Chains A and B, each alone.
Chain A
Amino acid sequence: MNTQTDSSFSVVHPIDHLMRADRLPHILCAGCGIGTVIHSYVHAINEFGVDEDRHVCVSGIGCSGRAAGYVNVDSYHTTHGRALPFALGIAVYNPELTVTVISGDGDLMAIGGNHFIHAARRNANLNVICINNFNYGMTGGQVGPTTPVGAKGTTAPQGSVEHPFNLPHLAKAAGASFVARWTVLHVRQFTDAVLRAMNKKGFCFIEVLAPCPTSFGRRNNLGEGLDEVEMYRQRCRIENGAQDLEPLDIDIVDHEQTITVGNFVDIERAAFLA
């Protein structure tokens, strides 16, 4: 057992060379799942074994959008909703690069939703990791395009009345080549999915469920981050290769409902200018 209590060391964790370690600890809340997603992404870069200079990370705005600011590869923190068109420009200009977008459900699917469907339709050579915490965490918990019906947010104190998107179904319908859904509990499967995306040309989409205990969990009786992750353990069912994605809606606040996770789609289709 070795406990490092001196924070003056800048490289202490074996993966720190792929992080901007001088910025750690990061600003994300205790129990927030976004840190695990960032960790898995740099782990995948390490496993990928290709020169890290060939990796580019692009984020939009939000707590999830902070990802680009913590990874030690070329990274861009773009305006709200515009991570995808920005990343598309990079990928088209230099097809040798492995461009990964890491952003939130609000950034990618609300303000950026139009970019999302068209990047998938064109089969742009991008890896897109959507951190779904079912709300706009950074701005205090407004409901967004993945908030389940009945879930509470600052803009829906009586519960949301809007139907949410089912993201894997949307991505598949729009034309994505690779589609997966995992949670931060499934770190190994999620990291493997990111690696598969890095090895594949075309539009690769991975939804990852992550607790936002501060803005969403607290209002919806989901408890701390650990309680929500334990709920993933109890409710998730793995169905790799699932054909019909339409029934895979998630109602995170309904504790009885199963959550289906897995690598769902993996097809070959000509990638856009790649």
Chain B
Amino acid sequence: MKSDDDITQRRPMDMPLARVPVGDVHVIAERCKECGYCIEYCPTQVLVYTKEMNTKGYHYPIVAEGKETSCVHCKYCDLICPELAIYTTSSDDDRDSDG
């Protein structure tokens, strides 16, 4: 059985060249019905519910404090949204793989 250390020591040879995309999140608040799919399945936990409600009384997603540059533009929130209420765009500000 390998320890965590063994596993983390194996790094792809081109790791320093890899660029991690950064995305900007756009929310169409009036379409949201608070199903929570985007918040639950964001791989970098960028989103939280707002305290305010939209006109239908739902708490919609916003970017959590301190997570402004954490979106990796994977578009999963966009694709799974049943309401077409959220999408991401590339921020042209990719960072290297070491963060």
Contact = CB atoms under 8 A, between A and B. Distances in A.
A4 B81 contact: no
B30 A7 contact: yes
Nearest to B25: A1
Given A25-B31, A25-B33, A40 B84 contact: no
A230 interface: yes
Contacts of A230: 40
B79 A43 contact: yes
A26 B83 contact: yes
A230 B34 CA distance: 16
B37 A25 contact: no
A36 B82 contact: yes
Contacts of B24: 1-2
Interface string A1-25: 1111111000011111001010011
Contact of B82 (A2, A3, A32): A32
Contacts, number: 98
Interface residues of B, number: 32
Contacts of B56: 25
Contacts of B37: 36, 225-226, 229
B70 to A, nearest CB: 11
B82 A28 contact: yes
B26 A225 contact: no
Given A4-B26, A226-B37, A187 B87 contact: no
Contact of A226 (B26, B36, B76): B36
A251 B92 CA distance: 46
Interface in B34-90: 34-37, 40-41, 54-56, 58, 60, 62-63, 68, 76, 79-85, 87
Contact of B33 (A2, A31, A34, A38): A31
B28 A13 contact: yes
Contact of B87 (A13, A19, A40): A13
A221 B81 CA distance: 23
Contacts of A3: 26-27, 29, 60, 62
Contacts of B84: 13, 15-16, 19, 21, 24, 35, 39
Interface string A29-52: 111111110111001000000000
Contact of A12 (B28, B58, B60): B28
B83 to A, nearest CB: 6
A5 B29 contact: yes
A30 B34 contact: yes
B26 A31 contact: no
Interface of A: 1-7, 12-16, 19, 21, 24-26, 28-36, 38-40, 43, 184-185, 187-188, 191, 224-226, 229-230
24 contacts: A1-B24, A1-B62, A1-B68, A2-B26, A4-B30, A5-B30, A13-B28, A13-B85, A14-B87, A15-B84, A25-B31, A30-B33, A33-B82, A34-B82, A36-B81, A39-B81, A224-B35, A224-B36, A225-B36, A225-B37, A226-B37, A226-B40, A229-B37, A229-B40
Question: 4 shortest A-B CB distances, which residue pairs?
Answer: A35-B82, A30-B33, A7-B30, A31-B35
Given A3-B60, A36-B82, 15 more contacts: A1-B25, A1-B68, A3-B26, A5-B29, A15-B84, A25-B31, A25-B85, A29-B33, A30-B58, A33-B82, A35-B83, A36-B79, A39-B81, A185-B80, A187-B80
